[in-house]
Amino acid sequence: MEVETPAGTPNVKFLPTRTRRADALELLAESFLQNGVATLSGGDRQQIVVHVDMETLRTGCAGRCEIEHGTHIAAETARRLACDASVVGIVEDEQGEPLNVGRKTRSVPPALQRALRSRDKGCRFPGCCNTRYTDAHHIHHWAHGGETKLSNLVTLCRYHHRAAHEGKVEIHVLDDGAIRFLRPSGESFDSIAPGHSHPMSDWRELPRHHDEQGITINARTAVTRWDGGPMDFGMAVDGLLYRARAAGNPPRGGLSVG
């Protein structure tokens, strides 16, 4: 049986792969220009439906945890998706029949999302500059009793959000609002909160380290010796980077979690 197609419809079957990809990219761009960036924010960005038992979400015990009409996923992956998503609670009987279906709610309400974006301005992992396609991460997950409030939330890009869950990277909030990321190996990175300096909990470590190396820092430390003017730190860093590259030992790039 032949199916008629409208005049002018391209024969997709015979288009080269690169042409189909270009057409798909054009369609994405047109959709973005038509709908705007607002469609990319909030809990409805993911249209993947995941069914998970509450006890499995809370403890990781055996139970239902699967993509609708798809495969099973790890409980930790479900917790990552539930950090910043739309949630519908369903009460079922012993046979799995629904008894009550709750209202669709956001795990992070829109007003709190706006406050979080205003505070973090992108992924808070040190060295990461991603400002789009980010998630609101519950430092203490709501499934474990954590509150959905600004002090318990941090913005992470998709890569570092996955690292926080599946990669077992721990996140701790320090005294002045700074955030510490701990790898499973114990290596730590500190993310300084906007408007704050070095985390208050660590302020003694730097002077102690300087004492061990015999470094004395005072009001004259950053004064140049040739004209008494202030030190041009940008020029100094450029000089150090030039010498490092010339020595065949280029500096490491931005911090990331493998």
3 state DSSP class of 253 = coil
Residue 72 and residue 164: Cα distance in Å, rounded?
20
Instruction: Return the pLDDT at 193.
Output: 57
Query: How far is Cα 88 from Cα 104, in angstroms, rounded to an integer?
Result: 5
Task: Bin 45: left if φ > 0, else alpha if -120 < ψ < 50, else beta.
Answer: alpha
pLDDT at 5: 40
Point out which residues pair with 136 in neighbouring strands: 155
Confidence at residue 61, expressed as pLDDT on a 0 to 100 scale: 81
Q: Are 150 and 58 within 8 A, CB to CB?
A: no
Helix (H) or strand (E) holding 203: none
Quote the pLDDT of residue 137.
Answer: 93
**Average pLDDT, 10 consecutive residues per value, the chain (258 residues):** 43 59 78 64 60 81 80 86 81 67 80 91 86 89 89 91 91 81 83 56 67 81 71 80 78 44
Predicted pLDDT at 203: 55
Please give the pLDDT value at position 127: 79
